[in-house]
Structure 1
Amino acid sequence: MGQIAGIARHSERRGPIEQLTSVRVSPEFGVEGDRNGGKQRRQVSLLEAEDWAQAMREVGGSLPWWERRANLLVEGFDLPQREGVRLRIGDDVVLEVRVEIDPCDRMEELHPGLRQALTVDWRGGAGAQVISGGTVSVGDEIRIEDA
């Protein structure tokens, strides 16, 4: 089991990133106020803290995790790398992993070599669909949902 170490959202493409301590998520809107909520396969994006740190070490960078534009930063947890795995966050929220999130050109704009460093082993993160909504807060436990 791991925990949610950070929460972020952005309401428009290339728009400002807002860091939060908690946020509502729903099957209808994904992360409340985030531009990707209507995308079925990636309503919520998750990023492993260690994956981001490793990519930063490889490129010699020191960018904060939210520059990846992910919604949830997880630590102490290895995100499943296959579609259909369900994740429970806290007591109420259930997400289903749908897709690997490929890093875009923006990552290369942020730091040379970053896009390539994030292509290894799902380091760019996982996209998930909200199955059961609720509130996600920094410090919430994240785990694989029992079948």
Structure 2
Amino acid sequence: MNQGRLAGIARHARPRGPIETLDAVRVTVEGGLDGDFRGAIKPGGRGKRQVSLMEAGDWDAAMAEIGHTLPWSARRVNLLVDQFDLPQLAGTRLRIGAVLIEITQECDPCSRMEEIAAGLKAALASDWRGGALGRVIEGGELRIGDAIGIET
């Protein structure tokens, strides 16, 4: 699929903090999603984990595999995309509305996923099902429903 849409936005202000879902958010090169603790680039850092993205279909498949119906925000990623296959290649640039994000690496599921539901870490482990991480190249406003596509 060449173009999809942004289906969800979430952030958390601190590690292990509560997840807040939003309809819109400002995104900056320096800070990632406003109010999200992972977005700020640390001195000397490269911002490889500023933003996390996941496919809605991958979350649904993981839920079916473990027999749960948890909301996508339980995954603790920032952006949920629908009708779009996230590229599994570092360096690929995605345009989401006005924002440009460069994929930096796979978002491997952590042990926190097992705290949420037994078997969830394993259900998210293969084929980039846990999502992708990225850095902000161009900031702007993101809104649910924004188009997402690969920038060439």
TM over 0.5: yes
Q: Is it true that 1:86 corresponds to 2:93 in the alignment? A: yes
For residue 49 of structure 2, the aligned residue among 34, 37, 42 is 42
Distance 2:29 2:50 in 1: 8
Distance 1:88 1:125 in 2: 16
Distance 1:120 1:102 in 2: 9
Distance 1:130 1:89 in 2: 11
2:129 maps to: 123
| Residue pairs, 1:7-86, within 5 angstroms | 7-39=9-41, 40-86=47-93
Distance 1:63 1:12 in 2: 21
Structure 2 gap ranges (5+): 42-46
1:40-64: CA deviations, max 9, x gaps? 1010100100000000000001110
Q: CA RMSD in A?
A: 0.7
TM-aligned CA deviation for residue 38 of structure 1 = 2.3
1:99 maps to: 105
The SS at the match of 1:131 is: strand
Distance 1:81 1:73 in 2: 16
Q: Which has the higher helix share?
A: 1
Normalised by the size of structure 2, how large is the TM-score? 0.94
Distance 1:27 1:57 in 2: 36
Q: How many residues align?
A: 145
Moved over 4 A (4+): none
When structure 1 is superposed on structure 2, of 36-45 and 132-141 the one drifting more is 36-45
Structure 1 gap ranges (5+): none
Normalised by the size of structure 1, how large is the TM-score? 0.97
